[in-house]
Structure formats: C-alpha cells, structure tokens
Amino acid sequence: MGRSPCCEQAHTNRGAWNKEEDDRLIAYIKANGEGCWRSLPKAAGLLRCGKSCRLRWMNYLRPDLKRGNFTSQEDEIIINLHALLGNKWSVIAAKLPGRTDNEIKNHWNTHIKRRLIDRGLDPKTHRPIKTTAAAVSPAPPPAHDFAVVSSNDIDAAPEEGQSSTTSGDVVNLDLSISLCLPSSRSRTAWPEVATTPPPPADEAAASPTTICFCYHLGFRSGEVCSCHIASSKRHSLGLYMRLEEGQRIANYCVDS
C-alpha cells in the first residue's frame, strides 16, 4: 500500500516560520478554528504543508501555552509519569497544562535525562545504573514490571518543598495511580502491567489484575484509554510495582 506525501513538497516553504506566516495561521485559526489541517494552508494562504501548520500551532502559537523554564514541580511530575508510562510524551503533556509533548520531550532529553544519570539512575528504567558486572548479566526486567506494594510500605508524603526523588534511593510515585490497557487508538504497546485482555467493565472493577492509571492521572473516562470502569470502583484499586532491593516508595500525588 503506497502512501502519498502529505503535501506538494515542491511548492511549500520549509524551515523556520516568519512573523507573517505566524500571523496568517493565528488569524485563520481564530476565525475558523482548528479544522482540516490538510486544507488549512491553502485556505489560510500559507505555503506550508498541513502537518507543518499543525506543529507550529500546537507547539508554539497556541494561546494557552506556557512559556519559560520548567518548575521543579513540573520536573517531578514528568519524572514520575515517565517512570510509569515511558516515552508517552503526549500523555505526559496532557497532565501539564500549557506544555507541549515536544517541549517536554526536549526538556527530558536535555535536562532531566542527564540529571537522572548524575543521580546514578538509568533514565529508561529509573533504576540504579548497574556497574560492570551487570553488563554481562541478562537484561534487567522492563521498568513497568510491577509487583504488589503493600500500603505498609508507603512513606508519608514529602514535606512541602522537599523532593523525594532527589534523595536518590526513593521512588516517588502516586500510589493512587492504577493502570488499564491502552485504547485502541494508542500507537504502541503500553507498559506491560496487565497481561491479559481487559474483562468486561463490571468484572474488571473487581479484578486485581485490571487497574487503571488513566483515571487517577486525572484523565476522563475514555480520554486516553478504553477503560470505562465506574470511577467509584477505581478508587479501591492499588498500584502494582516492583521494587529494587533497598528502594522505598514515597507517596506523591500528581494531582495538586
């Protein structure tokens, strides 16, 4: 199955956007809203492909975007969500109002990743980096290979202004988070927590193997997953997570 190019490359501008192009795009979307990106450039009088227009709007021109440096609180949220979700930048961005997936991805790659390495943590798995002996041992289990955590293992929430992850050996997670399978719209496999297909909603609510992150991350039903378990039932579910030896869990709530 062939795939046609998204636009007529020969007749489109590329590279950095200029002020006039930005103004045209803003004016058009203000007047007409976000519609069909493919037809937008022509309608707006832009020599850009629709994809480029969408990217420019989403990542730079949207009025609700928050510019400027990431706060330490935002960093913590990113780290926690990345530990749970991996490189699901769009999902992470959905929990940080005013931030885009591209911005978060760049911030991760340029700042946070290095900071984790400096702390001796593998930025992919969020676990302590093993020394040479580990190089010849089998690959470590995936970051999302979870086990049940008893509530007795939970530390109190960190004091205000105190970052539990900065202590190095504390895993900073929202223990009210649970996980469900991704929606059919999701692009790639989600962390392999639930290993069986999702049971019907009623059954799922009672099953300890069917848990939903998304609800507790503040997403509405069906927003990022296909789970429709009644919200009242989801609250009774717990977090399943594997701990490395010596690791502790600090209670941390993503929703402020």
Instruction: Give the binding site for DNA (CB under 7 A).
Output: 1-4, 6, 13-17, 35-39, 50-52, 54-56, 59-60, 87-91, 101-103, 105-107, 109-111, 114, 184-188
> How many angstroms separate the CA atoms of 168 and 132, rounded?
20
Tell me whether residue 19 or residue 30 sits nearer to DNA (CB atom).
19
Q: How far is the CB of 131 from DNA (least distance, A)?
A: 23
The nearer residue to DNA, 54 or 119, going by C-beta atoms, is 54
- State how far Cα 78 lies from the chain centre: 7
Pick between residue 221 and residue 251 the one whose CB is nearest to DNA: 221
What gap in Å lies between CA 89 and CA 67, rounded to an integer? 17
CB of 78 to DNA, least distance (A): 13
Q: What angle do CA 139, 145, 150 make, to 5 degrees?
A: 135
Nearest CA to 91 among 186, 228, 227, 229?
186
How far apart are the C-alpha atoms of 175 and 255, rounded to whole Å?
12
The side-by-side arrangement of strands in the sheet containing 154-155 is 154-155, 248-251, 170-173
User: CB of residue 246 vs DNA: minimum separation in angstroms?
Assistant: 29
Least spacing, CB of residue 214 vs DNA, in Å: 14
Specify the residue, 95 or 158, whose C-beta has the smaller distance to DNA.
95
